[in-house]
Amino acid sequence: MIVTVTLNAALDITYRTPELVPHTTHRVSDVAERPGGKGLNVARVLSALGHETVVTGFAGGRTGDVLRELLGSSAPGGSRSRPVDALVPISGATRRTLAVVDETSGDTTQLNEPGPTVSSAEWSTFLSAYERLLTGADAVALCGSLPPGIHVGAYAELIRRARAAGVPALLDTSGEPLRRGVAARPDLVKPNADELARLTGSREPLRAASDARRRGAHAVIASLGPDGILAATPDGVWQATPPAPVKGNPTGAGDSAVAGLLSGLVERLPWPARLARAVALATATVLAPAAGEFDAEAYEELLPRVAVTEQPGP
């Protein structure tokens, strides 16, 4: 079982319009609603890959009710499996995120609400649920931003509890929560190049990834956008690159990469196979209509064509 934690879950709303022009009125050609937040996206992709997955975090208000209802619907990728809902109820309302896709350019404009304030009592309830889930977990993913009311060292605390339970932990966040989380020695961190640069002060991805490892991360997988991912691990350094650039909605592509990395971890795949899966899933997600989904046919076609090359150390 893989546990994904989404402390700031969201209802993702995607609008598609023929062309996005500022200061004008638009007709929307299509609207999609999906359960969102990074960890929920990860969980839906993992379920589509056939892994037993449990989602936890917080959900509240009418938006939270809609999110939970959608979470119980069919998973993406042609699979009938879906994540198990272990979200903790809160009094505040779950946030919404809005993506507007310009069908002419393929670009996406994203608007993210901050999220509800979580009380200390609600955080304590979540910690108790998290401890119970760790008992049967093969891995845990800690993903996304922190909602108001949650202390900045929350992910570091969750990593330490996972380590105490002997459960590998992956961290995907940014800013101060990332810095403190890395110091708690997670098994994997997956920042993008900008987040990694802000953490380490270096704009050179390999140097920055190596620095993040020295700060405590066991392995660092840096997202390089259309150039794929760079992995600095105890077993070596690799870069995995998609066969060609694609146009579409990039929202959730990084979350699909996390799902690929986690599934490869629990299946004990070698690093090159994990990285190829992560890049193929991320690319197939750009081609899908909404976050938390991927184009299954594109994924199968892309997987053997991802180039994984070993890199010299820093």
Q: Which residues are designated catalytic?
A: 255
For residue 112 the two structure tokens come to 């993210």
Q: How far apart are CA 199 and CA 215, in angstroms?
A: 10
> In Å, what is the CA distance from 246 to each residue of 13, 225, 276, 280?
22, 11, 16, 12
| Other Cβ atoms within 10 Å of 300 Cβ, number | 11
Pick from 122, 153, 151, 111: which is nearest to 56 by CA? 122
Q: Which residues of 152-187 are buried (b: 16+ CB within 10 A; e: fewer)?
A: ebbbbbbbbbbeeeebbbbbbbbeebbbbbbebebb
Query: In the chain, at which residue ranges do the beta strands (DSSP E only) sit?
Result: 2-6, 10-17, 30-36, 53-59, 84-85, 88-89, 95-102, 108-112, 139-143, 169-172, 188-189, 219-223, 229-233, 236-241, 307-311
Q: How far apart are CA 86 and CA 90, in angstroms?
A: 13
For residue 25 the two structure tokens come to 């009125």
- Determine the 3-state secondary structure of 142 from DSSP: strand
Count of CA atoms in the C-beta half-sphere (13 A) of 38: 21
Residue 3, strand partner residues: 54, 140
